[in-house]
């Protein structure tokens, strides 16, 4: 297979990407801001990740995370270039302002006041580049809470999501960085909207996205449930389901499988498939709402009847009858998922330490093709020479500005 000069096999869908020609300069770390840049980069934008050097810093600190953070940098920073500069020096600041003068979008997700201290806030930069779109990712939109330090878990707790996810009295965070990722996506959506408006007005604008408000949007269906019914939404494990059979079943050899029967037609198919003629004819179970009311005795009976079957057998029966089901899958198992591999959802990529791996692409297709990996996650300052030369710096000045590779590290 042919490879590009980054050592990554080319993916489909690399031509005529919608944001080709758009330049994004991002000052981001962790998940939220990098997700915004990832979306724009995968859709064709040139995304330049600015990383700090000097003063004991060697690039984005996210690179060094372990445990649950070990996947952050390689997932959210593909298709980006790295420019490593010391922005606390006049020379580094000057180089950055030259770069921003050429940019369409600046994106940042640092604490309130950080960019202003560097002179890189929107108020300062729009005078330099009136067409600039400035995307700011924060914990809260401006208001009484905007001084607080927010994390995904913080806003899940205060925004109703942990309450809805856990059992009563046991709030539980979701198993992934839902607000960081979705907040970054809304930042990208805002940038796209601002680009469209700039076509009409010729002017840029500031876009703001926030974790807390994102989380409130996630639980808005439960807020509206209360508005419509007058009844508070119960946590998901204790809720009265809208569907009678919509649950995890423990079956043969201790395996688990999620099964759903959500309509009256599906109930008839389900009963026929398993020979449950008595349940199909039971007038107490005639409709979905009837079955919801009878769950107290119906579900234990179904669990007993389905327990002798293997998960594979149940999956086969449900699939043949077009009934919803799902195996209980660990994230690492998805690397060998036949559907993901057959549809191009996984793409080859090189980690910053040189190891080959696969990564997960955006969950969309454009004209039948998945936007793929053009650049693997960059080394610290990997594109300094290219980008600074484009800005008019000679080799000696580039070396002085970047301190790469000798002190920034590779």
Please confirm, yes or no, whether 180 is among the known catalytic residues. yes
Q: Cα separation of 78 and 74, whole Å?
A: 7
Segments in 77-177 forming alpha helices (H): 90-100, 114-117, 122-128, 152-158, 161-165
E strands, 192-244, are: 206-210
CATH topology of domain 241-330: formyl-coa transferase, domain 3 (3.30.1540)
Joined together, the tokens standing for residue 225 give 């449930």
User: Which 3 state secondary structure label does DSSP give 315?
Assistant: helix
Contact status, residue 352 vs residue 379, Cβ threshold 8 Å:
yes
Q: Which of 170, 180, 290, 316 is catalytic?
A: 180
Q: How would you class 77 by CB atoms within 10 Å of its CB: exposed for 0-12, middle for 13-18, buried for 19 or more?
A: buried
Q: Are strands 256-261 and 325-327 parallel, antiparallel or unpaired?
A: antiparallel
- Cα separation, 157 vs 232, in Å, equals 17
One CATH from 3.20.110.10, 3.40.50.10540, 3.40.50.10800, 3.40.50.300 for 23-219+337-402? 3.40.50.10540
Please, are residues 187 and 211 in contact by the beta-carbon 8 Å criterion?
A: no
Q: What is the pLDDT along the chain (410 residues), one digit of tens a residue?
A: 233 334 333 344 456 899 999 999 999 999 999 999 999 999 999 999 999 998 778 899 999 999 999 999 999 999 999 999 999 999 999 999 999 999 999 999 999 999 999 999 999 999 999 999 999 999 999 999 999 999 999 999 999 999 999 999 999 999 999 999 999 999 999 999 999 999 999 999 999 999 999 999 999 999 999 999 999 999 988 877 788 999 999 999 999 999 999 999 999 999 999 999 999 999 999 999 999 999 999 999 999 999 999 999 999 999 999 999 999 999 999 999 999 999 999 999 999 899 999 999 999 999 999 999 999 999 999 999 999 999 999 999 999 998 744 433 33
> What are the boundaries of each domain within the chain?
23-219+337-402, 241-330
This prediction has a pTM of 0.91
Query: What is d(CA 73, CA 30) in angstroms, rounded to the nearest whole number?
Result: 7
Helix axis angle, 395-402 relative to 90-100, nearest 10°?
A: 110
């Amino acid at each position: 297979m042919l490879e590009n000069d980054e050592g990554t096999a080319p993916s489909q869908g690399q031509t005529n990407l919608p944001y080709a020609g758009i330049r994004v300069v991002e000052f981001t770390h962790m998940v939220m801001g990098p997700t915004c840049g990832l979306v724009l980069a995968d859709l064709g934008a040139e995304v330049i990740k600015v990383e700090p050097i000097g003063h004991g810093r060697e690039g984005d600190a996210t690179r060094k995370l372990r445990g649950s953070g070990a996947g952050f940098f390689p997932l959210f920073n593909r298709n980006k270039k790295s420019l490593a500069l010391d922005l606390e020096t006049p020379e580094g600041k000057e180089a950055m302002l030259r770069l921003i003068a050429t940019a369409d979008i600046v994106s940042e997700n640092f604490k309130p006041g950080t960019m202003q201290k560097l002179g890189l806030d929107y108020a300062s930069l729009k005078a330099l580049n009136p067409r600039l779109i400035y995307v700011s990712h924060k914990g809260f939109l401006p208001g009484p809470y905007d001084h607080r330090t927010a994390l995904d878990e913080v806003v899940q707790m205060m925004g109703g999501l942990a309450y809805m996810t856990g059992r009563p009295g046991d709030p539980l965070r979701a198993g992934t960085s839902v607000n960081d990722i979705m907040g970054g996506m809304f930042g990208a959506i805002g940038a796209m909207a601002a680009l469209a408006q700039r076509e009409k007005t010729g002017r840029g604008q500031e876009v703001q996205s926030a974790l807390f408000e994102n989380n409130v949007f996630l639980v808005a269906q439960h807020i509206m449930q209360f508005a419509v019914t007058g009844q508070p939404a119960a946590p998901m494990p204790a809720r009265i389901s809208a569907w009678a059979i919509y649950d995890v079943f423990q079956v043969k050899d201790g395996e688990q499988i999620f099964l759903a029967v959500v309509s009256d037609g599906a109930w008839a198919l389900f009963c026929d498939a398993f020979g449950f003629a008595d349940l199909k004819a039971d007038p107490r179970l005639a409709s979905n709402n009837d079955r919801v009311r009878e769950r107290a005795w119906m579900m234990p009976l179904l669990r007993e009847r389905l327990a002798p079957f293997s998960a594979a057998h149940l999956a086969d029966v449900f699939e043949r009858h077009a009934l919803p089901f799902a195996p209980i899958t660990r994230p690492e198992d998805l690397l060998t998922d036949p559907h993901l591999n057959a549809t191009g959802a996984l793409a080859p990529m090189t980690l910053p330490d040189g190891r080959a791996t696969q990564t997960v692409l955006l969950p969309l297709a454009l004209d039948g093709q998945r936007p793929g990996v053009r650049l693997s996650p960059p080394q610290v300052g990997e594109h300094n020479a290219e980008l600074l030369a484009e800005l008019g710096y000679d080799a000696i000045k580039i070396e002085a500005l970047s301190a790469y590779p000798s002190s920034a590290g590779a």
